Every structure is written in C-alpha cells, then in structure tokens.
Amino acid sequence: MTVLLTGADGYLGWPTALRLADRLDERIVCVDNFARREWVAESGSVSATRVEDPAERFESVENLSLVEGDLADRDFVLQLLETHEPDTVLHAAAQPSAPYSSINGERALYTQRNNVSMNLNLLHGLAECGLSDTHFIETTTTGIYGAPHFPIPEGGLEVERKGGSDEVPFPAMGGSWYHQTKSFDAANMRLAESQFDFPMSEVRTAIVYGTETAETRAHDSPTRFDFDYYFGTVVNRFCAQAVAGYPLTVYGKGEQRKPMVSLEDAVESLVRLVEEGPEADDEITIYNQVTRPVAIVELAETIAEVGDEFGLDAAVEHYENPRDEDEEHKMEMENERFLELVGGQRQTLEEGIRDVLATLVEEQDRIAAHEDRFLPGVLTDE
C-alpha cells in the first residue's frame, strides 16, 4: 500500500505525515512545493515554532519520501500518479488563507487557480491513470457553509418542495475567495463522482487549535505555527497576543460561535480514514471535522485563564464591532460521523490552549519581534 500525502510540509500535513509514518508499515509519499513558507515570509512574518529545512525534516523519518513539485502542473501530477500508483491520496495542500486571498485581484486569482487546479489535476489524473480503487480524501473547510440559521448537516440537505423531495448539496456560501475554492472543489468532486469510479471522502475542517502531537514530540520536530494576520487563525493570534503582552481584542459581544477542532483530533481522524478506508465505494462521504463551535469571547477568556498558569497577564477587551455580522450566531453543526471516525473528542479546548501556550512562551522573543504582524494591512505590493 502506498499513501500519497499532499501539503505534507503544512501545519496539519506534517503531524499527519509523522503519525502515518509511525502507524503504518506502508510507504508514505509526501508532496509539497513549500509555497506556504514563501507566503508567510512575503507577509513579513515567521512561524512561531522553528521548523527544519525541508530536506532535513523529511530525511529524518525512515518511511517518508519527499517529492517536491507543483500540483497545479498537470504533467507533474500525471507523472506522480503513474510512478507511485497510490492506494490512498490524502489531499491537504492549498493556499489556505482567506485574508491573503482578499488582498487584491492578483492574489484572489492565484488562490483560485492554484487550489482548483490541484483538485482537478488529481481527480482527472486518478481516472486517466486507471487508479479506480484509489481512495481520494480531501480536506476542505467548514468555511464553505457560511453562517446559516439552522443545523448544518454532514452531507446534503433534505429538501421538500411542491410535493417532491430530494437530497441536494449544501449551498456554497463561502465568505472569501479562498473559501470559494473549496466550494468549487466540493462541486468538482460531486461531478467526478458521476463520471469516475473511485471512492471519495471530503473532510470539512474547522478552525484547528494546538501545536503538538505525540509524534512531533517523539521526533522532536514541531509543526509550523503561524500567528500573523494573514495565516494565523483567531486562536493562533489570540495566543500569540497573550504571550506578547497584548490584550485579547473581542469585537462586540463576541458571542458568535466558530467551529473548532484540536490538532490532535484532526490528525487522528485523517489517519483513521486512511487506515479504515472509504465508508462507501460509490458516493462521497462528508465529515464535518469539528468537535464543537466555540464563542469568540469564550475562546478569549479560556486563553486568559490558562495564561495565568504561565504567568501571562492576558486582558480581554471588547471593542465596537466594525463588521456587519450577527454577533449572537450559534453555528450549529452536525458532526456524528466525524466523532464516530475519531472515536470521540481526544483533546478539549482548554487542553489545546495549554498545549499552545506551553509552546509559545518558549518563543516569546521570536513572537515579540514580529508583533506588528498581528495587525491587518501589513502586506503591500510595494
């Protein structure tokens, strides 16, 4: 068995690669073009954790092999699939930043071309290479759902209209040029389902929190942790602000809830999906990779409380909300299929924040040196 893991150098990709390597005897082929490192450097920031040179990083793990290349290049993808004939493709590569995709038209176009091309190249490549039994898994995002005022299903919506009923895909309501790429990917996977004969799983990933897994500790090889405005999530930025001595800024009431999942739970679910194989051979199985939605004010208060354990004086301050949004939106999301896959939640929000702060206090000087990166508008075309 061969597993092809794309985006293996990323925040989620690296700990997933390590767990696959430790749990499976099979060959793990890791693919990346290391663009994430370039994007963060372009924004004037760094990973809070110190990540090794790519060659050093992958060579240190026995059954990981590294292929450097651009998945948006169709010829590269065809050669990759023909050479390795993977039994599973776990596609975790993307330009993942909504703010980066919204800087200007150039970056919006790049994000959409890059992300959609990679997905299409892999789908068509599997079909053209005759890999009809390969399990194709893609991590997309819960951000494609928008903020509907009803519980979001794991799969389609049951719709009744004028005496008829059917299950239809959930409408694409992404709020950024990046999120829309994942809506396109989901739609293209549905189209591929009707034309190609191989099993597919779509894992819609929530905001991920955490810095370490058992494998990153055992290999003494941390995953990256971005805290800048463009590539750091709200969890990352709040934690970095706490370490740097900045107040945690909550807009308005902060009662709107965002779907979240720990790094530990996200990695374990992906590895189990590789191990156990597809749930169905003739349809796409969708997983809402979220343990629970968390209110922004709850997140800030949890960081402040856990911060006390590390001697951090993290104040929570409320500011007038500049955004036009429902400040009390509850974001209900069904996740039974995901929780069954992962075997129940493995790390709570409080445990994950403790994990993050324990890592970041060791890099306090590194974060403080880039504290201006917390703010919007730091990246220009000059």
The span from the CA of 4 to the CA of 69, in Å, is: 13
49 has catalytic annotation: no
Other CB atoms within 10 A of residue 27 CB: 16
- DSSP summary character for residue 171: P
Q: What sign does the dihedral 233-235-238-244 (CA atoms) show?
A: negative
Distance between CA 26 and CA 40 in Å, rounded?
33
Compute the distance between CA of residue 334 and CA of residue 292 in angstroms, rounded to an integer: 9
Closest to 241 in 3D by CA, of 349, 309, 316: 316
d(CA 94, CA 115): 5
Pick the catalytic residue from 49, 141, 205, 285: 141
Among 100, 178, 229, 246, which one carries the catalytic annotation? 178
Q: Is 182 a catalytic residue?
A: yes
Burial zone of 55 (CB within 10 Å; 0-12 exposed, 13-18 middle, 19+ buried): exposed
Q: Please, which residues have CB within 8 angstroms of residue 41's CB and are 6 or more apart in sequence?
A: none
Given the residues 142, 145, 182, 223, the one annotated as active site: 182
Neighbours of 65 (CB within 10 A): 14
**141 included as an active-site residue:** yes
Active site residues: 141, 178, 182
